[in-house]
Amino acid sequence: MAQIYKPQPRQVKAEALKQQLVVGLDHQGRGVVRTPKGARFVGGALPGEVISLMPRGKYEAELIDITEASSERVMPPCAYYASCGGCDLQHLELHAQRRHKQQVVEQMLQKFAQLSPEQWLEPLTDNAWNYRRRARLAVHYDRKRQQLKLGFRAAKSKQIVAINDCLTLTKSLNDLLKPLRTLLPKLSLVRQLGHVELIDLNPKPIVLLRVETAPVEADTQALQLFAEQYSVAIWLATEHSVKPLNAHDATVSYQTLGAALHCKPNDFLQTHQQLSEKMVAQALSWLAIEPQDTILELYAGSGNFTIPMALQGAQVTAVEGVHSMVEQLAENAKRYAVKVNAVCANLEQPWPQQGWAGSKFDQPFTKVLLDPARAGAPHAIGEVAKRQPQRIVYVSCAPDTLARDANVLKQNGYQLKRAQVIDMFPQTHHIEVITLFERE
């Protein structure tokens, strides 16, 4: 075969940059340094610090050392802070974390919508450790050495950081880490284990194993024993089904404001139990719900906001895209005997002309609650604006898409009355925010 000249990519050896001032913190919690060649984003660095950094890739850099530390820097209490990919803001004092999150939302609203709320409320807060009620653990089994690695992925890597203790997990989930590490290598299903999920639901925590096929008899017995000893429910998820090992563990629930809602372990679940309930209470109070209200709720999940709103006497049309969650929602509404129309629809597709989206919501005093995923509500927000509800409460976990959607509301005559950061994910850069819009 003919040989063709292939130019080798030029190897440019990066050099460390010393005595660099960190001028800000970006929305991913990384320190921002302005170099002559443009901005660099440095994980672990804080505003006001003087640092040395090593450029990595086009925009990022690694923190090498800190010459002058911020007064807001604290010692990360987690033993895995340096290697694990989670909890990337625990080196920043808690109040400063919350202040930073509000600043990010302020900046995004300004940048994408030229908006600032008439009123910022103090962040909604609760316990900042032992709050996380769901975790997906990565698993790797080395057949040759017969060793199991169970933990979280390292930052930007497929490497697994083996974890014995996680300070953000709820205590009941954290207490399962060590026993699981002992149990799993003894099972023959360890060879086909995809991942392990821990979910803190009622009446007991769930250990969900992602497997390819049903466990053999000896594994089933060992799992039964573990379930009894640690008071957990074992669930098995295959490509086609999610089932409890014991049929009597099939009913699971979570607590929301004034109600216990049935759900499935793989349904969406707000991360922080206490803050979720505070957030629902805040949404209800901002919507000022009255029994004669007809409310449209979008991205409703299994009814976390729906049932509390309906318990106040309102008629709620709740729309959700995942069919199994809509079924749960309808069942929850039936158990509480409240007026809920549970609808399964993709809100980012054109809305129907008839039925739930068509006729009822052209009335002037309808209120809307929406709580989309990170992508926001690019199509739904226009549909909401067209219906001209008097009040809209928009709960968001992504300030950039919130700001984009807020701009649509602004252009349709809405004012941003209130905003409040909800500290749903303490120690991490993730942001939750609740906003209230009203028509002029």
- The continuous run of DSSP H or E covering 97 comes out as helix 94-113
**Segment contacting ligand SAM by CB under 6 A, of 58-66, 145-153, 294-302, 355-363:** 294-302
- 265 is an interface residue for ligand SAM by CB under 6 A: no
Q: Is 166 a catalytic residue?
A: no
For residues 317-346, which are near ligand SAM according to CB under 6 A?
320-322, 325, 346
Instruction: Render the burial of 220-230: b for 16+ CB within 10 Å, e for the rest.
Output: bebbeebbeeb
For residue 276, what are the CA distances in angstroms to 208, 256, 395, 422?
23, 7, 11, 9
Dihedral of CA 182/187/192/194: which sign? negative
Options 39, 74, 218, 373; binder of ligand SAM; rule CB under 6 A: 373
Query: CB-wise, 173 or 325, nearer to ligand SAM?
Result: 325
Using CA atoms, how far apart are residues 399 and 272, in angstroms rounded to an integer? 19
Q: How far is the CB of 388 from ligand SAM (least distance, A)?
A: 22
Instruction: Show the tokens assigned to 34.
Output: 């302005």
- From the list 42-50, 66-74, 123-131, 300-308, the region that binds ligand SAM by CB under 6 A is 300-308
The number of residues that bind ligand SAM (CB under 6 A) is 17
Q: Are 117 and 420 in contact (CB under 8 A)?
A: no
Is the Cβ of residue 45 or residue 403 nearer to ligand SAM in the bound state? 403
The Cα–Cα gap between 165 and 176 comes to 9
Q: Which residue's structure tokens are 């900042």?
A: 128
The residues, any chain, with a CB within 8 Å of residue 322's CB and separated by 6 or more, are 267, 268, 344
Question: Least CB distance from residue 322 to ligand SAM, whole Å?
Answer: 4
Closer residue to ligand SAM in complex, CB, 97/302: 302
Spatial contact of 201 and 252, defined as CB atoms under 8 Å apart: yes
Our CB check for ligand SAM shows the closer of 347 and 392 to be 347
Strands 414-422 and 432-439: antiparallel
Give the residue with the Cβ less far from ligand SAM, 233 or 263: 263
Closest distance between ligand SAM and the C-beta of residue 346, in Å? 5
CB 109 within 8 A of CB 117: yes
CB of 278 to ligand SAM, least distance (A): 13
Q: Which of 80, 299, 361, 437 binds ligand SAM (CB under 6 A)?
A: 299
Rule CB under 6 A: choose which of 20, 168, 170, 304 binds ligand SAM.
304
317 within 8 A of 360, measured Cβ to Cβ: yes
| Residues 96 and 72 sit within 8 Å (Cβ to Cβ) | yes
Catalytically active residues, by annotation: 397
What residue numbers does the annotated binding site for S-adenosyl-L-methionine cover?
270, 299, 320, 371
Q: Which residues bind ligand SAM (CB under 6 A)?
A: 268, 270, 299-301, 304-305, 320-322, 325, 346-348, 371-373
What residue numbers does the annotated binding site cover?
270, 299, 320, 371
